[in-house]
Chains A and B, each alone.
Chain A
Amino acid sequence: MGRIILSAIAAALCVVVSHIPISSAASPEVNAEILATLQFPVPESAKASEYLGLSGSEPFKLNDIKGDIIIVEIFSMYCPYCQAEAPNINKLFALIEQHPSMKTKAKLLGVGSGNTAYEVEVFRKKFGIPFPLIPDEKFSIDRCSERRFMTPTFIVLRRDQKKLKVLKVHEGKIERVDEFLESIAKL
């Protein structure tokens, strides 16, 4: 009898353990200091530069963006998950722009990991992306992480006494963009 109960407990444990989803494995640590040193090309459109509060044509750092909250989406034109997620992130952008407290302070930026300017433009046109996308052909964004970012990954940064601090790193698709935005607004 005892053996049967033990097997039942073991079976129950197996069931529980086997259903811990792998996708909830820890997102990679992001080194904010390294991230702050990375330089990115200014977006090609004047509208995109204006949205980010950038002037001139010199490469920019994330700290140059005029916004207290910066949401960076690391994506690739070639990534099927990013393609599938694109309409959802367009919705996130629309929600930010309507949000009473976030619309003035939050900025959304897409970094095309391993993509050329041409490839980023293909992605923008295909999915009608309304927020700035910039190419990162040499995967420079990966330098701030212990491992290569999977796509899509979202890094949420907040300006804190002129420095950017990492609030949140989310790897994989965002199921509910409204809840995602509210969770940032509360942080």
Chain B
Amino acid sequence: MRPVGQYSVARMLAVLMVLSLLCFPAFLYAQQRSGAIYDPGKLKPVDSETKLKVGDNAPDFTLPSISGDKVSLSQYLGKKNVLLSFVPAAWTPVCSQQWPGYNIVRDLFDKHDAIVLGITVDNTPTLHAWTQEMGTVWFPVLSDFWPHGKVAGLYGVLRSDGTSERALFLIDKKGVIRFIDVHDINEMPRLEKLDAELRKLGK
């Protein structure tokens, strides 16, 4: 009798395991919606110093995007105005909201013939998972993971802990920097300010 009993216990365990696996995706989803954002607390507002200034030529770079291709800043020369949006890291509070904000104002960027390039120092899989949480993101999201923070360093916005600043660089079609905002990392750059700067670009 004992082997039979053991068998049914094992079978019960197996059923439980299968049930557990079946339920798991739903559980994971619930967790992401409420608990996946890491709160680092209040951070030093700015922890780097950019040498770039308005009127400078924007340094060119090439980075892998989450869609699998590589994106270079120079490919937009003569074609599009570019907003470089550096955010400190995936899965952190304000960043988890800044890009979803840009995501619903594509018409604003289209109106000014502009594109957003979102950049963080995270690796591509992390960026992929994180932006999935935002719904479909219409602009390229680029990984500045390796060599770590090279582009952030080039723009002078790499912080001492290896994350980047929350920084905006607006670059016109000639490749000239027209607006720089190395923002307090804890706060959201206001959308109306960006709108005003886009208007200044002209067509």
Contacts and interface: CB of A to CB of B under 8 A. Distances in A.
Interface of A: 1, 4-5, 7-8, 11-12, 15, 18-19, 21-25, 76-81, 83-84, 114, 116, 118-119, 122-123, 126, 150, 171-173
Interface string B150-186: 0000000000000000000000000000000000000
A77 B104 contact: yes
Contact of A83 (B23, B135, B188): B135
Contacts of A81: 33
Interface string B73-108: 000000000000000000000001110110111000
Given A78-B188, A119-B191, 14 more contacts: A4-B5, A12-B16, A15-B20, A19-B20, A21-B27, A22-B30, A25-B34, A79-B97, A80-B96, A80-B134, A84-B135, A116-B190, A116-B192, A119-B190
B125 interface: no
A129 to B, nearest CB: 13
A122 B190 CA distance: 12
B21 to A, nearest CB: 10
A80 B16 CA distance: 35
B2 interface: yes
A76 B188 CA distance: 12
Contact of B6 (A1, A15, A22, A83): A1
A168 to B, nearest CB: 18
A172 B33 contact: yes
B101 A77 contact: yes
Given A8-B9, A15-B16, A83-B100, A118 B27 contact: no
Interface in B112-163: 133-135
Contact of B30 (A15, A21, A84): A21
Contact of B104 (A23, A114, A126): A126
B97 A122 contact: no
B4 to A, nearest CB: 11
Contacts of B19: 15
B13 A118 contact: no
Contacts of B35: 22
22 contacts: A1-B5, A4-B5, A8-B12, A8-B13, A11-B13, A15-B16, A15-B19, A19-B20, A19-B23, A19-B27, A21-B31, A23-B33, A77-B191, A78-B101, A80-B103, A80-B133, A83-B103, A83-B104, A114-B188, A116-B191, A122-B104, A126-B105
A118 B9 CA distance: 62
A41 B126 CA distance: 40
Contact of B27 (A7, A18, A84): A18
Contacts of B20: 15, 18-19
B49 interface: no
A11 B16 contact: yes
B195 interface: yes
Contacts of A25: 34
Closest 6 CB pairs of A and B: A78-B97, A78-B101, A118-B192, A23-B30, A80-B100, A21-B30
Contacts of A77: 101, 104, 191
Contact of A76 (B6, B16, B27, B97): B97
A169 B63 CA distance: 44
A86 to B, nearest CB: 10
A20 to B, nearest CB: 9
